[in-house]
Structure 1
Amino acid sequence: MKIDRIETFYVPPRWLFVRVETDDGAVGWGEASLEGHAEAVDGAFEALRDRFIGHDPLRIEDIWQIAYRGGFYRGGAVLMSALSGLDQALWDLKGKAAGLPAWQMLGGKVRDKIRAYAWIGGDRPNEIGDAARARKEQGFSAVKMNATAELDWIGTPKLFDEVAERVQAAQAQGMDVGLDFHGRVHRPLAKQLAKVLEPLGLLFIEEPLLSENHEGLAQIAQLVSTPIALGERLYSRWDFKPFLASGTVDIIQPDLSHAGGLSECRKIAAMAEAYDVAVAPHCPLGPLALAACLQLAACAPNVAIQEMSLGIHYNVGHDLLNFVTDKAVLSPIDGFLPIPEGPGLGVIVDEAAVREADKDRHRWRNPIWRNQDGSFAEW
């Protein structure tokens, strides 16, 4: 068995799927989505094709090591997203060839289902309440929402009250809430806001500061008991290493389509387990990314909760379930996602739908947000 073809597909609204086929017709699918940078990741596959056409697809670790180390330059969002999609596809292919789920090949199950949460938006408490109620009707028991749109140095009681009211509106619907700062506030305001929110009993505060501000994050970690989560913009176990070693983070959020795929994120989770740190994979992406996350949840004991993007605002009209034939595999039930039992990543891709979608290649770009004073705001 040798790799014969590596294809990429631009799937709306903003995804990049990967298809690997062998000379004997075996197929595996993965997802290399890097929001707003599909063309750059697609370009990285030229080097991967040159490396791995003709290679044994079952030697997944060997392929990972060559792809990561063999080009001299390594890491970063683009190269690691390409490697992630290839890695996922190889696990899918190997599992289908063996008739086994990826989690079975990685040591077997530690759980049968994983709790899930979805994002909600809204500027006013009533909008938040309505959005939380809708998520509850979809089968969720937890949500994540923005902390504040304001990029500022200091806060006011009015701002703090508004944030608390929005959180409480979601909690009033019976939802547990995680709050995403998006790294969009400066350290003085992040410290104030984290302290004010502490009595609300949040699941976590995500990216209270950007991960490059390691010192500031360490200060916030010492200030509050609310779990601190980060990691969607970290791309390897080496990126996560200083946060684990310093005790800065309580929940890490590697993205299986950015951080080296299932192979690397299994290692990242094992590192985190040694530091008693939980894992909540980042996944506002498509069905293959989510399926890979569920394989990790099945076999990594410290995975605590899973993000999924069921109909969130930037996927409107292109729900992640559109491109798989067994939609129940990726649908929440009573707050949990089931662990897929099928071979490989456990989902069946509607290949005809993927090829049709690729004909009109998307050019999705991240929206640009601005503060009231006109200055740029973080996503």
Structure 2
Amino acid sequence: MKIIDVHTHILGNPWKNWLFVQVETDEGLTGLGEGTLNGFAKTVEAAIHELKHLVIGMDPFDVETISLRLFRDVYSDGGQIQGSALAAIETACWDIMGKALNQPVYKLLGGRCHDKLRCYANGWYRGPSTPENFHEKATAVVAKGYTALKFDPFGAAWRTVEKRDFNLALENIAAVREAVGPDVDILIEGHNRFSVHTALQFAEAMMPSNPTWFEAPVPPLRVSSMVEVARRSPVPVACGEDYYSREQFAELLKHDAVHIIQLEPQFLGISASKQISGMVHAHNGVTAPHSAQGPVCSVVCAHLNMATPNFYMHEIFDEFNEPWEENVLLPGMKVENGYLQPPEGPGLGVELNLEEVGKHPYHVGNWLPLFRSGWEKRERMV
């Protein structure tokens, strides 16, 4: 079997253009992948088409060599853009492998490690950054059966915050805790916002609400800053979604300070994601992969998580996105009472509905400006 072409499709979701890839083979099997990257859909699409000549004619089963060609052989560090292009093509190859062998991808990654995947809700808090909105929306989330939910209570904060905004963020966190009760995990999203001292001030101040983790409290590029916060914070730190290589995770893990690792299969590909999960396992850590790009990313994470012994929680955006999203993939994944099963069909177990994709064209305003007031509404910004 040989790869003969790579096709791309962009769907205009109001808060992030989704980029899908279909890899075509000479035996008629087609694989599905995703290369979504906030604000860079057209850029990643161009990278895919610029790099695809490197994999045309290759056997889709040779995913390790395909990854080397798309990253090492280019001899340039294209960061998340190059990682997204690589992952989109490599994921599609795993989909082809599963179809050729008539097995779901998680079976190829080591098989079933869990009866079901515990999910946490994200994207549920659209609307104003007020305690009233957070309380109302959190109440609705737990009514759906979720036992964990994540949210960013910090508005458009960056590095430091005024006392009024500091107190409002704490009120938002307390409102969620009051809404969900003592037994639900609340996960605080930092979105790389703060300086070390601001992050530590928040970590101390949010403790009365008993959060399960404080995610990405400082920017990721200075590992030393993340390690300092993790060692001094009373709330466990989670991070990793920004990294796109094994080496970055090796640098983070060697400090034994962060033990909740949120690798991003969208930047790494499935092969590297499985290997990094093993690295985390060796450090007595757990994985909670980032699954907030698009619907194919969520399916990929479901397969990876099912085959990962040290999996912790699965992120769910899909149920809180636009109502038409359930038509983008056929069949769609369904969360039942806060838990999820990966698709059991061969490969990823889903196909792209091109008719639905065609209804939602690309728009330059479809992105998430996390440091602009009103981003929480997740509406088109231009």
Judge same fold: TM > 0.5, yes or no.
yes
Aligned residue runs from structure 1 range 262-273, under 5 A = 262-273=270-281
Unaligned runs of 5+ in 2: 375-382
SS in 2 for 1:12: strand
Query: Alignment RMSD, CA only?
Result: 2.1
Question: Which residue of 202, 215, 219 maps to 2:224?
Answer: 215
**Residue 113 of structure 1: CA displacement?**
1.4
Aligned residue runs from structure 1 range 116-155, under 5 A = 116-119=119-122, 120-121=124-125, 122-149=128-155, 150-153=157-160
Question: Which residue of 366, 369, 382 maps to 1:367?
Answer: 369
**Residue 318 of structure 1: CA displacement?**
4.8
Question: Which residue of 204, 225, 230 maps to 1:195?
Answer: 204
| Residue of structure 2 in register with 1:376 after alignment | none
SS in 2 for 1:266: helix
| Residue of structure 1 in register with 2:110 after alignment | 107
| Residue of structure 1 in register with 2:254 after alignment | 245
Task: Mark the CA change 1:73 to 1:199 in structure 2 (over 3 Å): closer, same or farther.
Answer: same
**Residue 227 of structure 1: CA displacement?**
1.4
Distance in 2 between residues matched to 1:87 and 1:282, nearest whole Å: 18
Give, as a single letter, the amino acid of the residue that structure 2 aligns with 1:277.
G
Distance in 1 between residues matched to 2:195 and 2:341, nearest whole Å: 39
Give, as a single letter, the amino acid of the residue that structure 2 aligns with 1:148.
F
**Residue 115 of structure 1: CA displacement?**
1.2
Distance in 2 between residues matched to 1:275 and 1:368, nearest whole Å: 32
| Residue of structure 1 in register with 2:85 after alignment | 82
**Runs of 4+ in structure 1 displaced over 4 angstroms?**
158-161
Aligned residue runs from structure 1 range 293-332, under 5 A = 293-312=301-320, 315-316=321-322, 318-319=324-325, 321-327=326-332, 330-332=333-335
SS in 2 for 1:40: helix
Distance in 1 between residues matched to 2:243 and 2:73, nearest whole Å: 21
- Indicate the larger mover: 343-352 or 33-42: 343-352
- Aligned-residue sequence identity (percent) comes to 31
| Residue of structure 2 in register with 1:182 after alignment | 191
**Residue 128 of structure 1: CA displacement?**
0.5
SS in 2 for 1:257: helix
Distance in 2 between residues matched to 1:247 and 1:225, nearest whole Å: 16
**Residue 133 of structure 1: CA displacement?**
2.0
**Residue 274 of structure 1: CA displacement?**
0.6
Task: Give aligned pairs, total.
Answer: 363
Give, as a single letter, the amino acid of the residue that structure 1 aligns with 2:116.
K
- TM-score normalised by L of structure 2: 0.89
SS in 2 for 1:272: helix
SS in 1 for 2:266: coil
Distance in 2 between residues matched to 1:42 and 1:154, nearest whole Å: 37
Distance in 2 between residues matched to 1:132 and 1:213, nearest whole Å: 33
Instruction: State whether residues 79 and 244 of structure 2, in contact with CA within 8 Å, keep that contact through their aligned partners in structure 1.
Output: yes
Distance in 2 between residues matched to 1:196 and 1:368, nearest whole Å: 23
Task: Mark the CA change 1:63 to 1:151 in structure 2 (over 3 Å): closer, same or farther.
Answer: closer
**Residue 366 of structure 1: CA displacement?**
3.5
Question: Which residue of 270, 275, 290 maps to 2:283?
Answer: 275
**Residue 346 of structure 1: CA displacement?**
2.1
**Residue 173 of structure 1: CA displacement?**
3.1
Give, as a single letter, the amino acid of the residue that structure 2 aligns with 1:197.
M
Deviations 1:11-38 (A, max 9, x none): 1211100001111210110111111101
**Residue 266 of structure 1: CA displacement?**
0.7
Instruction: State whether residues 75 and 236 of structure 1, in contact with CA within 8 Å, keep that contact through their aligned partners in structure 2.
Output: no
Unaligned runs of 5+ in 1: 373-379
Task: Mark the CA change 1:123 to 1:366 in structure 2 (over 3 Å): closer, same or farther.
Answer: closer
**Residue 117 of structure 1: CA displacement?**
1.4
Distance in 2 between residues matched to 1:271 and 1:303, nearest whole Å: 13
Task: Mark the CA change 1:331 to 1:139 in structure 2 (over 3 Å): closer, same or farther.
Answer: farther
SS in 2 for 1:173: helix
Deviations 1:109-149 (A, max 9, x none): 10131111122334222211111122224442211111423
Question: Which residue of 28, 41, 45 maps to 2:44?
Answer: 41
**Residue 154 of structure 1: CA displacement?**
6.5
Distance in 1 between residues matched to 2:144 and 2:294, nearest whole Å: 17
Distance in 1 between residues matched to 2:113 and 2:51, nearest whole Å: 33
